[in-house]
Structure 1
């Protein structure tokens, strides 16, 4: 009688897509968290503070789901990038903030970096 040791199956495309979707959701909750923390004014406004806590819990949950299949360095950078860009774009909408051309340029650089990070996270490396 022979026994075989199970071999890990390669990461499925579906699993990786789900992880990236979870990371995107985590990024949206991160934007909400950043904006609501600002609105809470140091956690002195109960409604904004409650919303911040809820968004914080959701962003951490979805980030942890995403990091099951995405490298932590890539996942964290993308998550932080989504949060930074989203907060910078929506800050002027909800608060008395400005978005200058210089800020917009550097936000575009962040977006480009996030896109390249996503493209660099392949299930299988290129072979020549």
Structure 2
């Protein structure tokens, strides 16, 4: 599989496990806890696989950027966490950084 696609999927799985941490309520709820653990393992394995072909700094930055961006958007939509101008600027900077790393 293309390392960039692998990395993108790993980043999306980071969103799943980050949100799963919230739903697991400190690993006190079984199903969200299992989903969190399984997705974190798969996400790390896919990140490691992508790093076989991509530079470590680029891969990690893109992976964490996708995770941060996706988690923030999910939280704003489903946990009604606030978004303001600074949040929006941060999102733009994350997306611009990911794009720059991909182009480089």
TM-score by length of 2: 0.93
- Give the whole-Å Cα distance in 2 for the aligned partners of 1:99 and 1:58: 30
Q: What's the counterpart of residue 67 of structure 2?
A: 83
- Give the whole-Å Cα distance in 1 for the aligned partners of 2:43 and 2:102: 19
Q: 1:116 aligns with which of 92, 95, 100?
A: 100
Q: Deviations over 1:73-102 (max 9, x none)?
A: 110000000000000001122324222222
Higher helix share: 2
- Unmatched runs of 5 consecutive residues or more in structure 2: none
Between structure 1 and structure 2, the one with the greater Rg is: 1
- Give the whole-Å Cα distance in 1 for the aligned partners of 2:6 and 2:63: 10
Residue-pair matches, total: 104
Q: What's the counterpart of residue 47 of structure 2?
A: 63
| Cα distance, 1:104 vs structure 2 | 1.4
| Cα distance, 1:58 vs structure 2 | 1.2
| Alignment RMSD (CA, Å) | 1.2
- Give the whole-Å Cα distance in 2 for the aligned partners of 1:44 and 1:104: 33
Large movers: runs of 4+ above 2 Å: none
- Choose between structure 1 and 2 for higher RCO, CA contacts under 8 A separated by at least 6 residues: 2
- Unmatched runs of 5 consecutive residues or more in structure 1: 1-14, 121-128
